[in-house]
Structure 1
Amino acid sequence: MSKRRLTTIALAMACAGLGGGAAFAQGAGVYARAYGGLSTLNSTDVSFKPGLPGPPSTDKLSFDSGLLVGAALGYDFEGPWKAEIEYAYRSSDVRRLPVSLAQSGDFASTAIMVNGLYSFGEVGPLRPYVGAGAGFSPELDLDLTSSGPSAPPPSALGNYSRSGRFAYQGIAGAELPLTDRWTGFGEFRVFAIDSPSLRSSSKTLKADYQTIDLLVGVSRRF
């Protein structure tokens, strides 16, 4: 999925929330959320440039479904709108990796996001909502390692990282009230970090970071 398509989906989710729907009143207040789930990192073209003169080599990486965990602190504005600040961690192992680069690896990120959520009110026992978020990645990390002897060692082995890149996401989910204070929820997300070039000593590697996430969690009002 291209970055343009991810951006379109995120904007569509946000605009859908502005379209209306029956709001429900449950009282203003602070809440906290915790969640976990699956993060599927999209395949990406990778461009590797060693610390020597010459053109970069290009190939494609694909990934196994990985782990997503996170938490958020937010405020319910006694109506359809909520705002929150969130911290999330994602990690996926490389499934297909050219042996000229490495034999194994993983691609991980952290993100601090500010999200806006809009609820459509009650639909049976559920409260569906959409949202969008923007923030930055304190750490984006691609580790390329050797799982056995090689001759010669792949030239791209190492830890590549970058920080401070812009991140954005679109959110669609539904809540299920459990008690007066506790709520369960499930979400579908699209998430991306702006086209990072990662660095390792004198080497650089360029790879996109775009995920599709499925998660479940709980929320508590205070």
Structure 2
Amino acid sequence: MKMLWKSAIAAGVVAASLSSAANAEEEKGFYVGGNAFYTQVFDADGTATVEAGGVLDGLPLLGDLLGGLLGGTSGSANFETSYDEDIGYGLTLGYKFTGPWRAEFEYRSQENDIDSVDSGVASFSSDSTLETTSMLGNLWYDFNMEEAIRPYVGFGLGMANVDTGSGDDDVVIGQLGAGVSWFLSPRLALDIGYRFAMADDPSYENGGTKVDSEYGSQSVMAGVRYNFFDAQYGVQDEDGDGVPDESDQCLGTPKGVQVDSVGCPLDGDNDGVADYLDKCPNTPAGAKVNAEGCSIDSDNDGVADDDDVCPNTPAGERVMSNGCAEQQSVVLRGVNFELDSAQLTVNAETILDSVATTLNDSPGFDVELQGHTDSTGSDSYNMNLSQNRAQSVKNYLSDQGVSSSRLTAKGYGETQPVASNETRAGRSENRRVELKVVGQDEGVMMEEEVYMPSDEEDEDPYNYMPEDEAADEEEAADEEMMEEEAAEEEAAEETSYDYDYDYEEESSTEEAAPAEEEESSSDAAEEAEDFDYIP
């Protein structure tokens, strides 16, 4: 029996080592089972040998047979043993791998009565019993893994102790098997199968008598198996969201969470954060959000980055609804004007409607509306044009309900460029209207410099142009140089704008006025490329 237990331990080690190869996926884990066997032991041929002086007494199976055959002396005799069919039992401990394989340790005990012993010359009945105790390591392969009924095949190898009552022997035993597992629930299965077993020839020695025999059997069995995991079969829905696992693109959804047709949690605002995790469920489409579904506010000023036109506000500063604080400014991109005038375009008025909304939503702030030009044209012309355009923006915002006491219009002409005036793109950047937050509203009208045209000038202040006669000789020389540069630029860049300068070298100060107007027209044509303001 010592050998048998050593082999049992070895079989257990093999099963454990196989189980360690399993990976962490769905259907896998340990199980236990109990089986009943109805076993037929095949008739076995054997040889009994009695040495000189051997004792036949105490051999319940062969004593009478050998005594009759050998006359109580030494010698040997051949015989065949017949066995009755009987019931035995078994216990199993197994491990189900991910996939079709199972490793199993099996303990089985079986008793079969010895019916008779026949030497060919004489036959004797017997009341002895053949007891077989075996321990095996089995490996089974299951079919139809997605079904409740799963056929299987496999084999086992181990040790058996065969005891006839006259002696016993530990032998190597192997078996082949097949069967069907029928899952009554994900954890409980019926097991019905067939086993065919063969062992090494057992040998017994007792009192100088040696018996060599054979062992083989076949069994039908029925049992139950309990899993410590849930078997997966039929339509699987592991997360219980109502979408089968084979169609579920978001496995593992928490219980009770509403999902769409492919098993993914609903995301009403399409911000990439599921509704059940979204603390800001109405985020505007396309907005960048954090892990909680709320719009990102990098400078922590209370205005989301997507709406913040001043994204680097210092910590703690009070801001307007567009995210701008005191001493911060933003270019009103898209606020353009008609050619050579301060008359707003239709698109500019649309942009300023949004600016007015921002200002009305931020009543505690005063702002300065700044007009800027490029360097084309005289200083005085640019200063006047920028002032008039800033005033035009103020007038429009006032008409939209913004208190004029909160607004200052100021022209800066060409004095604050933000890009080079040597290129068309740079000049386009320099022609702009900016909104600068200048302080907190204290209910006091701010002073501003407003250009007022004289009675002799155009009655429409938006179309005001300074008198050419007021330009001195230095301005005329500057205008002459700019006309030449504009002509060269037109030829080099092959622009679609038609400057059409008609300049004569000996022109008078009166003739300089149309040239200056044409220069301004060129400015206005480029100003159509101004910027967009996103409130």
What is the TM-score when the length of structure 1 is the normalising length?
0.75
2:104 to 84, 97, 104: 84
SS in 1 for 2:167: strand
Does residue 198 (structure 1) correspond to residue 218 (structure 2)? The answer is: no
Distance in 2 of aligned mates of 1:131 and 1:166: 18
**Is contact 1:160-1:204 (8 Å) kept?**
no
- Equivalent position of 1:17 in the other structure: none
Distance in 1 of aligned mates of 2:216 and 2:155: 15
Q: Which amino acid aligns with 2:178?
A: A
2:91 to 71, 85, 89: 71
- Equivalent position of 1:175 in the other structure: 181
Q: Describe how 1:1-222 pairs up with structure 2 within 5 A.
A: 27-52=27-52, 54-98=74-118, 103-121=126-144, 125-137=148-160, 139-143=161-165, 159-163=166-170, 165-222=171-228
Q: Would the alpha carbon gap of residues 141 and 105 (structure 1) be closer, same or farther in structure 2, given more than 3 Å must change? A: same
Identity, % of aligned pairs? 24
Q: Which amino acid aligns with 1:87?
A: Y
Which one has the bigger helix percentage?
A: 2
Q: Would the alpha carbon gap of residues 67 and 202 (structure 1) be closer, same or farther in structure 2, given more than 3 Å must change? A: farther
**Is contact 2:116-2:124 (8 Å) kept?**
no
Distance in 2 of aligned mates of 1:30 and 1:103: 44
Residue 87 of structure 1 and its aligned partner are, at CA, apart by 0.7
SS in 2 for 1:45: strand
Q: Which amino acid aligns with 2:150?
A: R
Q: Which amino acid aligns with 2:48?
A: F
Give aligned pairs, total.
Answer: 181
SS in 2 for 1:104: coil
**Is contact 2:116-2:125 (8 Å) kept?**
no
Q: Would the alpha carbon gap of residues 107 and 183 (structure 1) be closer, same or farther in structure 2, given more than 3 Å must change? A: same
**Is contact 1:169-1:189 (8 Å) kept?**
yes
Distance in 1 of aligned mates of 2:113 and 2:123: 18
After superposition, the C-alpha distances for 1:24-71 in whole angstroms (9 at most, x for unaligned) are: x96110001110120100001121122437431111111110222111
Q: Would the alpha carbon gap of residues 103 and 52 (structure 1) be closer, same or farther in structure 2, given more than 3 Å must change? A: farther
**Is contact 1:122-1:128 (8 Å) kept?**
no
**Is contact 2:115-2:126 (8 Å) kept?**
no
SS in 1 for 2:128: strand
Q: Which amino acid aligns with 2:127?
A: S
Select the structure of larger CA radius of gyration. 2
Residue 100 of structure 1 and its aligned partner are, at CA, apart by 6.7
**Is contact 1:161-1:200 (8 Å) kept?**
no
Q: Would the alpha carbon gap of residues 103 and 126 (structure 1) be closer, same or farther in structure 2, given more than 3 Å must change? A: same
Residue 202 of structure 1 and its aligned partner are, at CA, apart by 2.6
What is the TM-score when the length of structure 2 is the normalising length?
0.32
**Is contact 1:36-1:70 (8 Å) kept?**
yes
After superposition, the C-alpha distances for 1:70-116 in whole angstroms (9 at most, x for unaligned) are: 11111000211000111111111112224776633211111110100
Residue 120 of structure 1 and its aligned partner are, at CA, apart by 1.4
Q: Which amino acid aligns with 2:93?
A: L
Distance in 2 of aligned mates of 1:68 and 1:29: 28
Q: Which amino acid aligns with 1:135?
A: G
**Is contact 1:121-1:127 (8 Å) kept?**
yes
Q: Would the alpha carbon gap of residues 171 and 200 (structure 1) be closer, same or farther in structure 2, given more than 3 Å must change? A: same
Distance in 2 of aligned mates of 1:125 and 1:30: 18
Higher relative contact order (CA 8 A, sep 6+): 1
